[in-house]
Structure 1
Amino acid sequence: MTGWINGIGWVTAAGCNCGRKTEEQPLLPGTLEIPKRKQVFEKPDMRFGRLDEFSRIGLAAIAFCLRDAGEETWSEKRPIGIVAASRYGCLQTDIAYLQTMLPEHGKLASPNLFAYTLANSFLGEAALRFGLTGQTLVINQDDEKGLSAIHYALEELAWSEQQAILTGICDLNPPQELSPENEYPGSLFFLLGREPSSSLPSYGKLELTGGEIFFSGARVADFRSLVAKCLVVGV
Protein backbone atom coordinates (compact mmCIF):
# COMPACT_ATOMS: atom_id res chain seq x y z
CA MET A 1 0.00 0.00 0.00
CA THR A 2 1.59 3.24 -1.13
CA GLY A 3 0.91 6.97 -1.37
CA TRP A 4 2.85 10.09 -2.30
CA ILE A 5 3.01 13.07 0.05
CA ASN A 6 2.20 15.99 -2.24
CA GLY A 7 1.34 18.68 0.31
CA ILE A 8 1.69 19.59 3.99
CA GLY A 9 -0.09 22.32 5.97
CA TRP A 10 -0.62 23.13 9.61
CA VAL A 11 -1.89 25.32 12.43
CA THR A 12 0.19 24.63 15.53
CA ALA A 13 1.92 26.39 18.41
CA ALA A 14 4.55 27.38 15.80
CA GLY A 15 1.89 29.25 13.79
CA CYS A 16 0.22 28.66 10.40
CA ASN A 17 2.23 27.58 7.38
CA CYS A 18 2.81 25.33 4.37
CA GLY A 19 5.56 22.75 4.07
CA ARG A 20 7.30 24.37 1.12
CA LYS A 21 7.81 27.63 3.02
CA THR A 22 9.86 26.40 5.99
CA GLU A 23 12.12 23.63 7.25
CA GLU A 24 11.28 24.23 10.93
CA GLN A 25 9.48 21.51 12.90
CA PRO A 26 5.91 22.82 13.43
CA LEU A 27 4.84 20.29 16.08
CA LEU A 28 5.92 22.02 19.27
CA PRO A 29 4.60 22.19 22.83
CA GLY A 30 3.02 25.49 23.80
CA THR A 31 -0.15 27.51 23.58
CA LEU A 32 -2.09 27.20 20.35
CA GLU A 33 -3.23 30.48 18.80
CA ILE A 34 -6.53 30.14 16.96
CA PRO A 35 -6.10 31.66 13.48
CA LYS A 36 -8.19 34.57 12.26
CA ARG A 37 -9.75 34.59 8.81
CA LYS A 38 -7.12 36.96 7.39
CA GLN A 39 -4.38 34.46 8.32
CA VAL A 40 -6.04 31.75 6.23
CA PHE A 41 -8.18 33.30 3.49
CA GLU A 42 -7.74 36.62 1.71
CA LYS A 43 -11.42 37.33 1.05
CA PRO A 44 -14.06 38.00 3.75
CA ASP A 45 -15.68 34.79 4.93
CA MET A 46 -18.60 34.77 7.36
CA ARG A 47 -18.66 30.97 7.64
CA PHE A 48 -15.09 30.81 8.92
CA GLY A 49 -15.91 33.31 11.66
CA ARG A 50 -18.81 31.16 12.89
CA LEU A 51 -16.73 28.00 13.25
CA ASP A 52 -15.80 26.72 16.68
CA GLU A 53 -12.08 26.69 17.49
CA PHE A 54 -11.61 22.95 16.85
CA SER A 55 -13.21 23.18 13.40
CA ARG A 56 -11.30 26.36 12.63
CA ILE A 57 -7.84 24.86 13.13
CA GLY A 58 -8.83 21.72 11.20
CA LEU A 59 -10.21 23.61 8.21
CA ALA A 60 -7.26 26.03 8.20
CA ALA A 61 -4.68 23.22 8.21
CA ILE A 62 -6.47 21.53 5.30
CA ALA A 63 -6.49 24.83 3.40
CA PHE A 64 -2.74 25.28 3.90
CA CYS A 65 -2.11 21.66 2.90
CA LEU A 66 -4.07 21.95 -0.36
CA ARG A 67 -2.39 25.30 -1.05
CA ASP A 68 1.01 23.68 -0.55
CA ALA A 69 0.09 20.98 -3.06
CA GLY A 70 -1.30 23.45 -5.61
CA GLU A 71 -4.77 21.96 -5.15
CA GLU A 72 -6.63 24.69 -3.29
CA THR A 73 -8.52 26.13 -6.27
CA TRP A 74 -10.95 23.93 -8.19
CA SER A 75 -13.63 24.07 -10.88
CA GLU A 76 -14.92 20.49 -10.71
CA LYS A 77 -15.45 18.32 -7.65
CA ARG A 78 -12.61 15.93 -6.81
CA PRO A 79 -12.70 12.37 -5.34
CA ILE A 80 -10.47 13.34 -2.41
CA GLY A 81 -11.20 12.01 1.07
CA ILE A 82 -10.23 13.13 4.58
CA VAL A 83 -9.04 10.93 7.44
CA ALA A 84 -8.27 12.84 10.65
CA ALA A 85 -7.18 11.56 14.04
CA SER A 86 -7.92 13.38 17.29
CA ARG A 87 -7.25 12.58 20.92
CA TYR A 88 -9.78 14.99 22.44
CA GLY A 89 -12.04 15.82 19.48
CA CYS A 90 -14.49 18.66 20.02
CA LEU A 91 -14.51 18.20 23.80
CA GLN A 92 -14.03 21.90 24.49
CA THR A 93 -16.89 22.81 22.15
CA ASP A 94 -19.12 20.24 23.89
CA ILE A 95 -18.26 21.80 27.27
CA ALA A 96 -18.92 25.32 25.97
CA TYR A 97 -22.29 24.21 24.57
CA LEU A 98 -23.32 22.53 27.84
CA GLN A 99 -22.49 25.73 29.69
CA THR A 100 -25.04 27.58 27.54
CA MET A 101 -27.65 24.94 28.46
CA LEU A 102 -27.36 25.41 32.22
CA PRO A 103 -29.06 28.83 32.61
CA GLU A 104 -32.83 29.15 32.17
CA HIS A 105 -33.34 25.36 31.89
CA GLY A 106 -31.74 25.24 28.44
CA LYS A 107 -33.58 28.21 26.93
CA LEU A 108 -30.26 29.91 26.11
CA ALA A 109 -28.62 26.87 24.50
CA SER A 110 -26.45 28.05 21.60
CA PRO A 111 -27.59 26.73 18.19
CA ASN A 112 -24.27 27.82 16.67
CA LEU A 113 -22.19 25.79 19.15
CA PHE A 114 -24.60 22.84 18.81
CA ALA A 115 -23.77 22.66 15.09
CA TYR A 116 -20.14 21.87 15.99
CA THR A 117 -20.61 19.35 18.80
CA LEU A 118 -19.43 16.57 16.50
CA ALA A 119 -15.72 16.05 15.85
CA ASN A 120 -16.32 15.58 12.12
CA SER A 121 -18.18 18.86 11.54
CA PHE A 122 -15.15 20.57 10.01
CA LEU A 123 -14.78 17.78 7.44
CA GLY A 124 -18.08 18.85 5.88
CA GLU A 125 -16.88 22.45 5.85
CA ALA A 126 -13.70 21.40 4.04
CA ALA A 127 -15.58 19.24 1.54
CA LEU A 128 -17.94 22.08 0.62
CA ARG A 129 -15.22 24.70 0.37
CA PHE A 130 -12.75 22.65 -1.69
CA GLY A 131 -15.05 20.42 -3.75
CA LEU A 132 -14.10 17.13 -2.09
CA THR A 133 -16.34 14.11 -2.66
CA GLY A 134 -14.30 11.32 -1.05
CA GLN A 135 -15.02 9.53 2.21
CA THR A 136 -14.44 11.53 5.41
CA LEU A 137 -14.04 10.46 9.02
CA VAL A 138 -12.40 11.30 12.33
CA ILE A 139 -10.87 8.48 14.35
CA ASN A 140 -9.80 8.42 17.98
CA GLN A 141 -6.05 8.91 18.34
CA ASP A 142 -5.03 6.27 20.87
CA ASP A 143 -1.57 5.23 19.66
CA GLU A 144 1.58 6.88 20.98
CA LYS A 145 3.16 7.05 17.51
CA GLY A 146 0.29 9.13 16.14
CA LEU A 147 0.23 7.21 12.86
CA SER A 148 -3.24 5.66 12.99
CA ALA A 149 -4.80 8.14 10.53
CA ILE A 150 -1.98 7.57 8.02
CA HIS A 151 -2.42 3.79 8.31
CA TYR A 152 -6.10 4.17 7.51
CA ALA A 153 -5.48 6.64 4.69
CA LEU A 154 -3.02 4.32 2.93
CA GLU A 155 -5.54 1.50 3.18
CA GLU A 156 -8.25 3.77 1.74
CA LEU A 157 -6.03 4.64 -1.22
CA ALA A 158 -5.40 0.97 -1.89
CA TRP A 159 -8.99 -0.23 -1.56
CA SER A 160 -11.05 2.68 -2.91
CA GLU A 161 -11.20 4.76 -6.08
CA GLN A 162 -10.30 8.02 -4.37
CA GLN A 163 -7.50 9.90 -6.12
CA ALA A 164 -6.06 11.32 -2.91
CA ILE A 165 -6.60 11.47 0.86
CA LEU A 166 -6.04 14.37 3.24
CA THR A 167 -4.82 12.84 6.46
CA GLY A 168 -3.45 14.12 9.73
CA ILE A 169 -4.17 15.18 13.28
CA CYS A 170 -6.35 17.82 14.92
CA ASP A 171 -6.42 18.78 18.61
CA LEU A 172 -6.84 21.93 20.65
CA ASN A 173 -4.92 22.51 23.86
CA PRO A 174 -6.59 19.99 26.19
CA PRO A 175 -7.98 20.88 29.61
CA GLN A 176 -5.10 21.06 32.07
CA GLU A 177 -6.26 18.06 34.09
CA LEU A 178 -6.23 15.87 30.95
CA SER A 179 -2.96 17.04 29.43
CA PRO A 180 -0.15 14.46 29.56
CA GLU A 181 3.47 15.31 28.87
CA ASN A 182 4.77 15.79 25.31
CA GLU A 183 1.51 17.14 23.89
CA TYR A 184 1.74 19.02 20.58
CA PRO A 185 -1.54 20.88 20.12
CA GLY A 186 -2.74 21.88 16.70
CA SER A 187 -3.72 20.47 13.34
CA LEU A 188 -1.44 19.17 10.60
CA PHE A 189 -2.45 17.46 7.36
CA PHE A 190 -0.69 15.65 4.53
CA LEU A 191 -2.16 15.26 1.05
CA LEU A 192 -1.51 11.66 0.01
CA GLY A 193 -1.90 10.98 -3.70
CA ARG A 194 -1.86 7.79 -5.70
CA GLU A 195 0.91 9.31 -7.80
CA PRO A 196 3.47 12.07 -7.25
CA SER A 197 2.19 15.55 -8.11
CA SER A 198 2.52 16.54 -11.76
CA SER A 199 2.84 20.25 -10.96
CA LEU A 200 5.07 20.41 -7.86
CA PRO A 201 7.80 18.16 -6.43
CA SER A 202 6.50 15.47 -4.11
CA TYR A 203 7.93 15.18 -0.61
CA GLY A 204 8.36 11.43 -1.01
CA LYS A 205 6.72 8.04 -1.05
CA LEU A 206 4.93 6.38 1.89
CA GLU A 207 4.52 2.61 2.08
CA LEU A 208 2.53 0.47 4.51
CA THR A 209 4.17 -2.94 4.81
CA GLY A 210 3.67 -5.50 7.56
CA GLY A 211 1.91 -2.98 9.76
CA GLU A 212 4.85 -0.54 9.56
CA ILE A 213 5.03 2.73 7.63
CA PHE A 214 8.11 3.55 5.54
CA PHE A 215 9.02 6.92 4.06
CA SER A 216 11.44 6.85 1.14
CA GLY A 217 12.47 3.35 2.24
CA ALA A 218 13.13 4.18 5.93
CA ARG A 219 10.80 3.09 8.75
CA VAL A 220 8.79 5.92 10.29
CA ALA A 221 9.13 6.10 14.09
CA ASP A 222 6.19 8.45 14.72
CA PHE A 223 4.12 11.25 13.22
CA ARG A 224 6.43 14.05 14.37
CA SER A 225 9.54 12.44 12.88
CA LEU A 226 7.71 11.93 9.56
CA VAL A 227 6.96 15.66 9.45
CA ALA A 228 10.63 16.46 10.11
CA LYS A 229 11.82 14.14 7.34
CA CYS A 230 9.37 15.62 4.84
CA LEU A 231 10.41 19.19 5.54
CA VAL A 232 14.10 18.37 5.08
CA VAL A 233 13.28 16.80 1.70
CA GLY A 234 10.83 19.51 0.71
CA VAL A 235 13.08 22.55 1.20
Structure 2
Amino acid sequence: MKAFVTGLGWVTSAGMGRGRSGDRFAFGKGELPILSRQRIFADPYPRFGRLDDFSRLGLAGIALALADGGFDHCHDKRNIGLFAATILGSMATDITYFDSLLPERGGLASPNLFAYTLSSTFLGEAAIRFGLSGPGFVANLTGKGELDPFVLGLEGIAFNDCESAVCGFCNTSVPSVDPSNGQPEGALFLVLERSGLAGGHSYGILCRQPDGQIFVDDVPVPDCQKMVEVLQSNLPEHK
Protein backbone atom coordinates (compact mmCIF):
# COMPACT_ATOMS: atom_id res chain seq x y z
CA MET A 1 0.00 0.00 0.00
CA LYS A 2 1.31 3.44 -0.84
CA ALA A 3 0.27 7.07 -1.25
CA PHE A 4 1.81 10.48 -1.81
CA VAL A 5 2.31 12.64 1.28
CA THR A 6 1.24 16.19 0.46
CA GLY A 7 0.57 17.76 3.85
CA LEU A 8 2.11 17.63 7.31
CA GLY A 9 1.07 19.34 10.55
CA TRP A 10 1.61 18.83 14.27
CA VAL A 11 1.19 20.15 17.79
CA THR A 12 3.59 18.90 20.48
CA SER A 13 5.06 20.23 23.68
CA ALA A 14 8.00 21.43 21.55
CA GLY A 15 5.65 23.63 19.53
CA MET A 16 3.25 23.56 16.60
CA GLY A 17 4.15 23.62 12.95
CA ARG A 18 3.71 22.68 9.32
CA GLY A 19 6.12 20.83 7.09
CA ARG A 20 6.60 23.60 4.52
CA SER A 21 6.88 26.45 7.04
CA GLY A 22 10.42 25.60 8.06
CA ASP A 23 9.28 24.32 11.46
CA ARG A 24 11.12 21.34 12.88
CA PHE A 25 9.15 18.47 14.38
CA ALA A 26 9.99 17.15 17.84
CA PHE A 27 7.94 15.68 20.65
CA GLY A 28 9.66 17.65 23.40
CA LYS A 29 8.83 17.62 27.09
CA GLY A 30 6.45 19.65 29.21
CA GLU A 31 3.03 21.09 28.52
CA LEU A 32 1.38 21.49 25.14
CA PRO A 33 1.12 25.05 23.75
CA ILE A 34 -2.07 27.02 24.30
CA LEU A 35 -4.18 26.69 21.16
CA SER A 36 -6.12 29.83 20.30
CA ARG A 37 -8.32 30.22 17.25
CA GLN A 38 -6.03 32.95 15.92
CA ARG A 39 -3.06 30.58 15.85
CA ILE A 40 -4.93 27.97 13.80
CA PHE A 41 -7.57 29.76 11.72
CA ALA A 42 -7.30 33.14 9.99
CA ASP A 43 -11.06 33.75 9.97
CA PRO A 44 -13.56 33.69 12.86
CA TYR A 45 -14.54 30.28 14.20
CA PRO A 46 -16.61 30.68 17.39
CA ARG A 47 -16.96 26.93 17.93
CA PHE A 48 -13.22 26.49 18.41
CA GLY A 49 -13.28 28.14 21.83
CA ARG A 50 -15.99 25.76 23.04
CA LEU A 51 -14.06 22.59 22.22
CA ASP A 52 -12.53 20.52 24.99
CA ASP A 53 -8.73 20.24 25.07
CA PHE A 54 -8.60 16.86 23.32
CA SER A 55 -10.87 17.93 20.44
CA ARG A 56 -9.08 21.26 20.07
CA LEU A 57 -5.74 19.46 19.82
CA GLY A 58 -6.96 17.00 17.19
CA LEU A 59 -8.69 19.67 15.11
CA ALA A 60 -5.58 21.86 15.23
CA GLY A 61 -3.38 19.02 13.97
CA ILE A 62 -5.76 18.30 11.09
CA ALA A 63 -6.10 21.99 10.21
CA LEU A 64 -2.33 22.48 10.10
CA ALA A 65 -1.84 19.43 7.86
CA LEU A 66 -4.61 20.51 5.48
CA ALA A 67 -3.20 24.05 5.31
CA ASP A 68 0.26 22.67 4.59
CA GLY A 69 -1.18 20.63 1.72
CA GLY A 70 -3.22 23.54 0.34
CA PHE A 71 -6.58 22.01 1.21
CA ASP A 72 -7.75 24.54 3.78
CA HIS A 73 -9.43 27.10 1.49
CA CYS A 74 -11.78 24.82 -0.44
CA HIS A 75 -15.06 24.14 1.35
CA ASP A 76 -16.86 22.15 -1.35
CA LYS A 77 -17.51 18.56 -0.34
CA ARG A 78 -14.51 16.35 -1.08
CA ASN A 79 -14.04 12.61 -0.68
CA ILE A 80 -11.25 12.91 1.87
CA GLY A 81 -11.20 10.41 4.72
CA LEU A 82 -10.32 11.18 8.33
CA PHE A 83 -8.46 8.48 10.25
CA ALA A 84 -7.11 9.07 13.73
CA ALA A 85 -5.74 6.99 16.57
CA THR A 86 -5.47 7.67 20.27
CA ILE A 87 -4.59 5.90 23.49
CA LEU A 88 -6.66 7.61 26.17
CA GLY A 89 -8.97 9.54 23.83
CA SER A 90 -11.41 11.89 25.53
CA MET A 91 -11.00 10.29 28.96
CA ALA A 92 -10.08 13.58 30.65
CA THR A 93 -13.35 15.12 29.42
CA ASP A 94 -15.26 11.97 30.36
CA ILE A 95 -14.00 12.23 33.94
CA THR A 96 -14.86 15.93 34.15
CA TYR A 97 -18.34 15.25 32.80
CA PHE A 98 -19.05 12.44 35.26
CA ASP A 99 -17.79 14.65 38.09
CA SER A 100 -20.47 17.16 37.06
CA LEU A 101 -23.12 14.43 37.44
CA LEU A 102 -22.40 13.83 41.11
CA PRO A 103 -23.75 17.06 42.65
CA GLU A 104 -27.51 17.70 42.61
CA ARG A 105 -28.19 14.21 41.19
CA GLY A 106 -27.03 15.23 37.74
CA GLY A 107 -28.80 18.58 37.80
CA LEU A 108 -25.53 20.39 37.08
CA ALA A 109 -24.43 18.11 34.22
CA SER A 110 -22.89 20.10 31.39
CA PRO A 111 -24.43 19.58 27.91
CA ASN A 112 -21.32 21.14 26.38
CA LEU A 113 -19.04 18.63 28.11
CA PHE A 114 -21.32 15.78 27.09
CA ALA A 115 -20.89 16.75 23.43
CA TYR A 116 -17.15 16.05 23.72
CA THR A 117 -17.24 12.72 25.56
CA LEU A 118 -16.65 10.93 22.25
CA SER A 119 -13.10 10.63 20.95
CA SER A 120 -14.35 11.15 17.39
CA THR A 121 -16.05 14.51 17.94
CA PHE A 122 -13.13 16.48 16.51
CA LEU A 123 -13.37 14.51 13.25
CA GLY A 124 -16.91 15.80 12.82
CA GLU A 125 -15.73 19.33 13.50
CA ALA A 126 -13.00 18.95 10.86
CA ALA A 127 -15.41 17.43 8.32
CA ILE A 128 -17.83 20.33 8.72
CA ARG A 129 -15.14 22.99 8.71
CA PHE A 130 -13.31 21.72 5.62
CA GLY A 131 -16.09 19.97 3.66
CA LEU A 132 -14.69 16.45 4.03
CA SER A 133 -17.22 13.78 3.08
CA GLY A 134 -15.07 10.64 3.22
CA PRO A 135 -15.16 7.97 5.92
CA GLY A 136 -13.88 8.78 9.38
CA PHE A 137 -13.16 6.99 12.63
CA VAL A 138 -10.89 6.99 15.67
CA ALA A 139 -9.05 3.80 16.61
CA ASN A 140 -7.59 2.90 19.98
CA LEU A 141 -3.83 2.41 20.08
CA THR A 142 -2.08 -0.03 22.36
CA GLY A 143 1.06 2.07 22.43
CA LYS A 144 3.04 -0.52 20.46
CA GLY A 145 2.46 0.70 16.90
CA GLU A 146 3.53 4.33 16.64
CA LEU A 147 2.95 4.43 12.88
CA ASP A 148 -0.34 2.49 12.90
CA PRO A 149 -2.48 5.65 12.42
CA PHE A 150 -0.84 6.28 9.07
CA VAL A 151 -1.49 2.72 7.96
CA LEU A 152 -5.19 3.44 8.50
CA GLY A 153 -4.95 6.22 5.91
CA LEU A 154 -3.08 4.00 3.46
CA GLU A 155 -5.76 1.33 3.87
CA GLY A 156 -8.55 3.83 3.27
CA ILE A 157 -7.01 4.78 -0.06
CA ALA A 158 -5.99 1.23 -1.03
CA PHE A 159 -9.51 -0.09 -0.38
CA ASN A 160 -11.02 2.74 -2.48
CA ASP A 161 -12.86 4.24 0.48
CA CYS A 162 -11.46 7.65 -0.43
CA GLU A 163 -9.14 9.35 -2.91
CA SER A 164 -7.25 11.20 -0.18
CA ALA A 165 -6.94 10.85 3.58
CA VAL A 166 -5.93 12.86 6.61
CA CYS A 167 -4.46 10.47 9.15
CA GLY A 168 -2.57 10.69 12.39
CA PHE A 169 -2.77 10.55 16.15
CA CYS A 170 -4.04 12.74 18.97
CA ASN A 171 -3.04 12.11 22.58
CA THR A 172 -3.61 14.06 25.77
CA SER A 173 -2.66 12.91 29.23
CA VAL A 174 -4.98 12.17 32.14
CA PRO A 175 -3.29 12.89 35.49
CA SER A 176 -5.13 10.12 37.33
CA VAL A 177 -4.28 7.51 34.70
CA ASP A 178 -1.00 5.98 33.53
CA PRO A 179 -0.02 8.64 30.94
CA SER A 180 -0.19 6.76 27.65
CA ASN A 181 2.03 3.71 27.52
CA GLY A 182 5.07 5.83 26.79
CA GLN A 183 3.46 7.78 23.96
CA PRO A 184 3.97 11.55 24.33
CA GLU A 185 1.18 14.09 24.27
CA GLY A 186 0.44 15.83 21.02
CA ALA A 187 -1.05 15.49 17.56
CA LEU A 188 0.60 14.65 14.24
CA PHE A 189 -1.33 14.38 10.97
CA LEU A 190 -0.42 13.70 7.34
CA VAL A 191 -2.40 14.34 4.16
CA LEU A 192 -2.16 11.33 1.85
CA GLU A 193 -3.23 11.31 -1.80
CA ARG A 194 -3.62 8.57 -4.36
CA SER A 195 -1.92 10.85 -6.87
CA GLY A 196 0.26 13.87 -6.13
CA LEU A 197 -0.94 17.44 -6.39
CA ALA A 198 -1.12 18.53 -10.04
CA GLY A 199 1.91 20.70 -10.62
CA GLY A 200 2.69 20.68 -6.90
CA HIS A 201 5.25 19.06 -4.71
CA SER A 202 4.92 15.89 -2.72
CA TYR A 203 7.05 15.02 0.29
CA GLY A 204 7.45 11.55 -1.14
CA ILE A 205 5.66 8.24 -1.09
CA LEU A 206 4.60 6.60 2.15
CA CYS A 207 4.51 2.84 1.72
CA ARG A 208 3.64 -0.15 3.87
CA GLN A 209 5.46 -3.29 2.75
CA PRO A 210 3.83 -6.76 2.91
CA ASP A 211 5.99 -7.55 5.95
CA GLY A 212 4.55 -4.52 7.76
CA GLN A 213 7.57 -2.22 7.49
CA ILE A 214 6.90 1.45 6.72
CA PHE A 215 9.00 3.31 4.16
CA VAL A 216 9.21 6.86 2.88
CA ASP A 217 10.36 6.30 -0.69
CA ASP A 218 13.16 3.75 -0.16
CA VAL A 219 14.02 4.75 3.41
CA PRO A 220 12.68 2.62 6.30
CA VAL A 221 11.07 4.70 9.05
CA PRO A 222 10.62 2.96 12.43
CA ASP A 223 8.90 5.84 14.22
CA CYS A 224 7.24 9.24 13.82
CA GLN A 225 10.40 11.25 14.44
CA LYS A 226 12.28 9.48 11.64
CA MET A 227 9.26 9.60 9.32
CA VAL A 228 8.88 13.37 9.60
CA GLU A 229 12.64 13.87 9.32
CA VAL A 230 12.76 11.97 6.03
CA LEU A 231 9.62 13.66 4.69
CA GLN A 232 10.98 17.14 5.38
CA SER A 233 14.39 16.26 3.94
CA ASN A 234 12.63 15.73 0.59
CA LEU A 235 11.63 19.39 0.36
CA PRO A 236 13.57 21.31 -2.33
CA GLU A 237 15.31 23.60 0.19
CA HIS A 238 16.80 20.53 1.87
CA LYS A 239 18.14 19.00 -1.32
Whole-angstrom CA distance in 1 between matches of 2:45 and 2:75: 19
Whole-angstrom CA distance in 2 between matches of 1:176 and 1:99: 13
TM-score (norm 2): 0.92
Do structure 1's residue 213 and structure 2's residue 209 form an aligned pair?
no
Whole-angstrom CA distance in 1 between matches of 2:101 and 2:219: 51
Whole-angstrom CA distance in 2 between matches of 1:82 and 1:39: 22
SS in 2 for 1:178: coil
Q: What pairs up with 1:9-20 in 2 under 5 angstroms?
A: 9-20=9-20
State whether residues 147 and 223 of structure 2, in contact with CA within 8 Å, keep that contact through their aligned partners in structure 1: yes
Do structure 1's residue 113 and structure 2's residue 113 form an aligned pair?
yes
Deviates more, 1:107-116 or 1:136-145: 136-145
TM-score (norm 1): 0.94
Q: What pairs up with 1:81-120 in 2 under 5 angstroms?
A: 81-120=81-120
RMSD, aligned α-carbons: 1.7
Do structure 1's residue 129 and structure 2's residue 160 form an aligned pair?
no
What does residue 59 of structure 2 align with?
Answer: 59
| Amino acid aligned to 1:98 | F
Gaps of 5+ in 2: none
SS in 1 for 2:4: strand
State whether residues 30 and 185 of structure 1, in contact with CA within 8 Å, keep that contact through their aligned partners in structure 2: no
State whether residues 29 and 182 of structure 1, in contact with CA within 8 Å, keep that contact through their aligned partners in structure 2: no
Whole-angstrom CA distance in 2 between matches of 1:37 and 1:75: 18
Q: What pairs up with 1:215-234 in 2 under 5 angstroms?
A: 215-234=216-235
Do structure 1's residue 156 and structure 2's residue 156 form an aligned pair?
yes
Compare relative contact order (CA 8 Å, sep 6+) and give the higher one, 1 or 2. Answer: 1
| Amino acid aligned to 1:32 | L
Whole-angstrom CA distance in 2 between matches of 1:180 and 1:142: 9
State whether residues 75 and 129 of structure 2, in contact with CA within 8 Å, keep that contact through their aligned partners in structure 1: no
SS in 1 for 2:234: helix
